Structure 1
Amino acid sequence: MSASSRASSPRSYLVCASQRSGSTLLVETLRSSGVAGHPQEFFQYLSQTSLAPQPSDWFVGVDDRSILTLLAPDKPGVESTETADDWRARILREGSTDNGVWGGKLMWNQTPLVLERAAGLTGRTGTDLHSALGDILGDVLYIKVTRQDVVSQAVSFWRAVQTNTWRGRPAAGDDVAQYHQGAIAHLVKVLQEQELGWRTYFADHGIEPVEVAYADLANNTAEVLGRVIDAIGLNIEVPPPALKRQADKRSDEWVDRFRDSAPGQELPV
C-alpha cells in the first residue's frame, strides 16, 4: 500500500531536532527510499574547522574537571574556503534526489552557523534565521522531532560525547564511558534550551511543523513514516526502518540513577 493516495507535488523539507532525539532514524529511512532527498546534517560544520562541534564544545563554561576529563578528545580541523554561494549550491545539490525533492536536518544549536554562513549569500533578504533559511532553501516543510524523555536523551548524548559514537549501537569502547550526574544535568539543560528555541521560532513565524514524537517513531515507525511521506507529497511505499533503537540496559540504568538522585531536573525550562 502506498503511503498516500492523495500526495501533492513533492517539496523540500527540513527536519528540526536536537541531538539524540531520533531524527537520524527518520532521515536515514527517508533517504533509503531513494526519492525523498538525501537528508543530511548539512549545517553542523563550523567554518573555522570544517568539522561538527567537538565534545568540549558542548561544555563551554563548565570547569568541572571530573566532567572534562571524561570527554573524547577534540579533533583538529582546517578552515573552510568555500564561499557562501558555493556552500548553498552544494547543500542544494547534495540534498536532492533526481525528482527534485530536497531533504536536510537542522539542530537548534546550529542556527548561529546558518546565520554566519548565510550572511555572505548573494541576494540576502534579511538578517534573521527565517530569512536565512528562505534564502538558502526557499519554501520548505518543517518536520519537528521531539523526544519527550529528555533525561534518556541526555544520557544518550553523554555516552556519545565520551566515545564519539554517534550512530549505531554502542561500540566495544563504550565500556569506558562513565556515569556523571553533573554532566547529564548539564546536557538536560542544553537540550531543554534547544527545544525552547525551536518552539519560539515556530511561534514567532506562525509555523505549524509536522510533529514527530520519538516514542511514536520508535514504536510505530511505519505509521509515522507514512504520515511524513504524505506531508512531503510522495506517493511511495513506506520503506523499512533504516536503524534500530540504540539505547540498552546500561542507558536505562543511568536514567533511573539520575532520576533517583535528582528528581525534577528533567522538568522543562
Structure 2
Amino acid sequence: MRYRTNGPEFDFPPFPGPPPVRYVLASTPRCGSNLLARALWHTGVAGFPEDYLADTYVLDYFERWGFTAENADELPASHIRALMKVRTSPNGVFGIKIHAGHLADLETDPHTLLSSPLYVRVERADRLRQAISYTIAEQTGVWIVDGTHLPASRARSEPRYDYEEIGRRLRMLDGDAETWDAYAERYGITPHVVVYEDLVAHYEESVRACLAFLGVDAPQHIPPPGISRQADGTTEEWVERFHRDAGRDVGRDVGRDAGRDVGRDAGFRFPRRR
C-alpha cells in the first residue's frame, strides 16, 4: 500500500447500502484538511474522509480490489460504491476529500458521482504560510506526520527557500480558491466553512460544528486527530524572507508561472474505453 490507511485494517464494518449522509471536504493543499479529516475520522461518526479520487489512492484500491480497465465507463462509480461499503461509519456517514486542483482531472463530477453531497470547505486565512507549507511539503515529500497509526514520514531532502516557487504556490492557491467559489456557484452550494486557524485554536468546538452540519450526534468526547503540526522555525524564517524579498521586488509578478502545474498530485484519470 502506498498509504497504509488504505488497507482493510482501517475499514469500518461493511455498510449494507448507500450511506444516507455523504459529504466532501472541499480543500486546497496545506489548508489543514488532513487535520480536519483525521479529527472527523477519529470521532467514529463521520466516515473516513480521504483523497480517494487522487491517483495514488485509486491505485491502492484498484490493487486491493483487483479492478481492471474492463468496463472502464463504470469504474468511477464502482470505485465509489466499493469505498462506501467499507469507509462509511456505522451511523451511515461517508466522506471524501477533494482538492480543487483535482477537479479538472476527474472523469466524473463528484457532485454527480456522490448524488449532491454536503460540502465542508476548509480554508486557511494566512495564505502565505499555506504557500510556504506547500513548498516545503513538495520539496521534502512529507505531507503528514501521523503519530497514531503511521510512522512519521522521512524527508527525502532538506527544504530550500525559493522566492519564485513560493510565489507560484501562492498564486496557485488563489486560483484554487476561485475554483471552489465557481463550483459552489454552479451547483448552488452553501458549504460549511472551517478556517484552519480557528480549527487549531478551537479544536473541539470546530469539530462539533462540522458534525452538527452533517446532522450527526457528536460523541461525548472529541478525540485528538492523531497527527502533528509541521510548522516550525523554518516557516517563520521563510515568511520574513519572502516579505523582505517582495519588498525589494515591488511591481514584479512573483507568480507569473502560476498557471503551470508544478508537481501537483493530479486526480486519477480512470481508463477510457478504446
TM-score when normalising by structure 2: 0.71
Distance 1:157 1:255 in 2: 13
- Whether 1:221 aligns to 2:203 is yes
Counterpart amino acid of 2:99? M
Which residue number corresponds to residue 98 of structure 2?
106
Contact 1:92–1:137 (Cα < 8 Å) also in 2: no
Which consecutive residues of structure 1, in runs of 5 or more, have no partner in the other structure? 1-8, 52-78, 119-131
Contact 1:108-1:194 at 8 Å conserved across structures: yes
2:142–2:153 CA contact under 8 A, matched in 1: yes
Aligned twin of 1:24: 34
How much has 1:136 moved relative to structure 2?
1.5
* Counterpart in the other structure of 1:38: 48
| Matching of residues 187-226 of structure 1 within 5 Å | 187-226=169-208
Describe how 1:82-97 pairs up with structure 2 within 5 A: 83-97=75-89
The amino acid across from 1:223 in the alignment is: E
Q: 1:257 aligns with which of 241, 257, 266?
A: 241
Distance change >3 Å, CA 174–CA 150, structure 1 → 2: farther
Q: In the aligned structure 1, how far is the partner of 2:145 from the partner of 2:213?
A: 28
1:141-152 correspondence to structure 2 within 5 Å: 141-152=118-129
Q: CA deviation at 1:10?
A: 6.8
**Quick one: which amino acid aligns to residue 83 of structure 2?**
I
The number of equivalent residue pairs is: 217
The alpha carbon displacement at 1:174 in A equals 6.8
Letter of the aligned partner of 1:143 in structure 2?
A: V
Moved over 3 A (4+): 79-82, 169-175, 263-267
Distance 1:159 1:174, change over 3 A: farther
- Cα offsets for 1:172-201 (capped at 9, x unmatched): 647621111111111111111101100121
Query: In 1, distance between residues paired with 2:214 and 2:172?
Result: 30
Query: Aligned-residue CA RMSD in angstroms?
Result: 2.9
Distance 2:123 2:68 in 1: 32
Counterpart residue type for residue 77 of structure 2: D
Q: Name the structure 2 match of 1:55.
A: none
Specify the code of the residue in structure 2 equivalent to 1:87: H
Distance 2:186 2:120 in 1: 16
Q: Residue 171 of structure 1: CA displacement?
A: 5.9
**Shift of residue 241, structure 1, vs aligned partner:** 2.7
Q: How big is the shift at 1:163?
A: 1.3
Q: 1:113 to 1:89 in 2, by over 3 A?
A: farther
Q: 1:99/1:176 Cα in 2 relative to 1: closer, same or farther (>3 Å)? A: same
Does the residue aligned with 1:176 lie in a helix, a strand or coil?
coil
Contact 1:43 1:106 in 2 (8 A): yes
Give the TM-score of the pair, scaled to structure 1: 0.72
Identity of aligned residues (%): 27
